[in-house]
Structure 1
Amino acid sequence: MARLAGSRTNMLRGIIALLIVITALAGCGNAQEKQPEAEPSNTGNGAGTGSTNNNGGQTNGSSETRVVKDHFGEVEIPVKPRRVAAIYLEDYLVALGAEPIVQWYHPSWGKQDYLNLSVPQFDITGSIEALLEAAPDLIISDGYADAAIYEKYSKVAPTYRMPDAILESGSTEILTKIADLMGVPEKAEELIKDFEQKIADMKAKLQTAIGKESVAVLRLNIGEKDINLLGIKNRFVGSILYKELGLTAPKLVAEMDKFIDTLSMEKLPELDADHIIILTSNGTWTSPENQEAIDNLLNSPIWKSTPAVKNGKVYQVERTFWQSGAFQANQLKLKDLEKYLLQ
């Protein structure tokens, strides 16, 4: 009997020990399930914990903001904006590898066709509803936005109006600022370094090819009986042609104080330019609605008598990038100059 009692006691102890082990193991499992998840690694740029796409940008946005100073004062903007409307500044977004959510459009001037964008147009003369429907998280505007327009834009999304000082400084300064607003300043640095090298190379080639021969830029006003002369202070062409590339401006251009001026056909001989670059005010050189104005110019005895025309040194160019001083537009101008002046 004693042996039987001892056996039962040992068995009971074994069962109790087994239950203790099972309980302990269960407790460990529960503890592991209740452990806090590890913090997600930030593979982006420190601007939030949103997931990233192949461009390194966040796909689900971030609520992080910062305060910057624009033309009208301080404005709070997203650190990493994802849906940007850059009114007449789309060129710079494209250069930085970003697609704007709308494209600037004016009924009289059209849009910047050279960008080849496939996004909705925003008619700046029309309703603000089109911009509202695009749901931007940031709006960037050039000098077109006065106080009233700025207020309208600001009701749609945080709006940054470029300071006049930056707009007047040139395309590289504008690119630098927009890259900063987009949170990618390093991209602007790379693009500008490459552009400056292109300018240096082109300047040297032009010096060899045409030396001090003068170059003027004209605009044929469709529907009018005059043409425009773009001055040396014109930021669309004056800066890159005469300042950066060092081309010689004809006396009439060099003495201009105006950004752009009207030049009657009778005064055309006074221009005395060795080379003439000419664009249309709207449409293209092959647009049917432009043919009457184009024919009237090209068939004019005064036009035919100008030295550049007689020497075959007149170059018909595409208006949308010659009427813009934006970053990519300027690079397209370099291609035209290579095509026409480095023959």
Structure 2
Amino acid sequence: MHTQKKFIILAGVLFSLMLLLAACGGENGGTGDSDSGGSAEGDQKAEVTVDSKMGEVTLPTDAERIIAPYHEDSLLALGVKPVAKWAIGNSVQTYLEDQLGDLPKIEWNMPVEQVLKHSPDLIILEHGLDSYEGSYEDYQQIAPTYVMTEEVTNDWRKQIEVFGKILGKEDKADQVLKEYEQKVTDAKQKLNDAIGDETVAAIWAVGNQFFLFEQNRHSAEVLYNELGVNTPELVKSLGEAQTSWNPISLEKLSELKADHVFLLANKGEQGIETLKNSSVWQSTPAAKNGNIYVVNDPSNWTNKGLIASKDTINDLLEYLVK
């Protein structure tokens, strides 16, 4: 009995020693390799590698101080607020001001000293690097910099997908895109019920000049291509939108046989009064039937993005669905 007890005690001691050695081996990895690997894993930041105009680039997914001039729409759609907002002097993207109003401005051409001032940990730029004051290398020295390809710059859906990947918000990106598609489906049905095959046009009045939206100009793409609203012949004749957007004469506008016209103009623009006082304009179908709708914040119409598109849909529903 005494011998058996000693054996049990000895076995217990040996088992404890084995556990202790195994634990030490697990921490030290025997050769020391796992120790350095474990430490690196603990300190390693979350990163993602994505394609960009500059080739593959590795970026942090935990960035908190982000600058993405003119593309704040896509950030906000993902629930991310940048540290500065795009501006040309005092002009900003008005339709985003309810979310960005308290942020400092950063000039559209991204002066390097202004970028430094905001201490970003991620910079997102358009593919047209020549429009910026600094070079890619200048911005890279400040923070990891992602330059969108031309496709991502021009396609806000792709933009949300890529931003979602970069910011570790892929599920959020999928969610907001699905919600938007449902909004389009619902709005399309409501508009079809309300106006049927009637035509709609959008004109931007700046000072005393008038810009008629082509079918793919800014948020008019939502109107014609997504919602399927009928296009007036004059708009069709303009063809595809070009980089340079030229004003249209009042005489040419008299040819606009649209059933409904959205007149986009800030309060006090001379163009509103010019059209009111023009007998030629007042003889057009939309004017004669009282179907001119003045929208005093044109900024969502003159942009592309998820929020801009949703706001444009809301404008259409407000005025066209009675």
TM-score, structure 2 normalization: 0.79
Whether 1:254 and 2:236 are equivalent positions in the alignment is: yes
Residue of structure 1 in register with 2:253 after alignment = 268
Contact 2:260 2:291 in 1 (8 A): yes
Residue of structure 1 in register with 2:3 after alignment = none
Residue of structure 2 in register with 1:211 after alignment = 196
Residue of structure 1 in register with 2:274 after alignment = 296
Q: Which amino acid is the alignment partner of residue 92 of structure 1?
A: S
Match of 1:119 among 103, 127, 143: 103
- Following TM superposition, by how much is the alpha carbon of 1:143 offset from its aligned partner in structure 2, in angstroms? 4.3
CA distance in 2 between counterparts of 1:153 and 1:258 reads 34
Whether 1:128 and 2:112 are equivalent positions in the alignment is: yes
Change in Cα spacing, 1:67 to 1:112, as seen in structure 2 (3 Å) is same
Whether 1:69 and 2:54 are equivalent positions in the alignment is: no
1:1-343 to 2 correspondences below 5 Å: 63-107=45-89, 110-115=91-96, 116=98, 117=100, 118-125=102-109, 127-146=111-130, 149-151=134-136, 152-168=138-154, 170-222=155-207, 225-234=208-217, 236-259=218-241, 260-280=245-265, 284-285=266-267, 290-317=268-295, 318-343=297-322
The percentage of aligned residue pairs carrying the same residue is: 33
Contact 2:261 2:293 in 1 (8 A): yes
- Following TM superposition, by how much is the alpha carbon of 1:125 offset from its aligned partner in structure 2, in angstroms? 4.1
- Following TM superposition, by how much is the alpha carbon of 1:216 offset from its aligned partner in structure 2, in angstroms? 0.9
SS of the equivalent of 2:48 reads: strand
Residue of structure 2 in register with 1:12 after alignment = none
Name the stretch that deviates more: 202-211 or 125-134. 125-134
Change in Cα spacing, 1:94 to 1:122, as seen in structure 2 (3 Å) is same
Contact 2:275 2:281 in 1 (8 A): yes
- Following TM superposition, by how much is the alpha carbon of 1:150 offset from its aligned partner in structure 2, in angstroms? 4.7
- Following TM superposition, by how much is the alpha carbon of 1:155 offset from its aligned partner in structure 2, in angstroms? 3.3
Flag the structure with more relative contact order, 1 or 2, with Cα contacts below 8 A and sequence separation at least 6: 2
Higher gyration radius (CA): 1
CA distance in 2 between counterparts of 1:291 and 1:332 reads 22
CA distance in 2 between counterparts of 1:340 and 1:209 reads 10
Q: CA RMSD in A?
A: 2.5
SS of the equivalent of 1:231 reads: coil
SS of the equivalent of 2:68 reads: strand
CA distance in 1 between counterparts of 2:131 and 2:156 reads 24
Contact 1:143 1:164 in 2 (8 A): yes
CA distance in 1 between counterparts of 2:299 and 2:107 reads 16
SS of the equivalent of 1:63 reads: coil
CA distance in 1 between counterparts of 2:314 and 2:131 reads 38
SS of the equivalent of 1:276 reads: strand
SS of the equivalent of 1:319 reads: coil
Listed as ranges, the gaps of 5+ residues in structure 2 are 1-19, 28-40
Q: Deviations over 1:141-186 (max 9, x none)?
A: 2345338645243332222122112233x33222111111111100
Q: Deviations over 1:192-225 (max 9, x none)?
A: 1111111001101111111111111111122xx4
Listed as ranges, the gaps of 5+ residues in structure 1 are 1-30, 39-47, 51-61
Contact 1:88 1:141 in 2 (8 A): no
Contact 1:242 1:249 in 2 (8 A): yes
CA distance in 2 between counterparts of 1:272 and 1:293 reads 19
Contact 1:104 1:124 in 2 (8 A): yes
CA distance in 1 between counterparts of 2:192 and 2:46 reads 50
Q: Which amino acid is the alignment partner of residue 303 of structure 2?
A: S
TM-score, structure 1 normalization: 0.74
Aligned residues: 278
Q: Which amino acid is the alignment partner of residue 157 of structure 2?
A: T
Change in Cα spacing, 1:198 to 1:291, as seen in structure 2 (3 Å) is closer
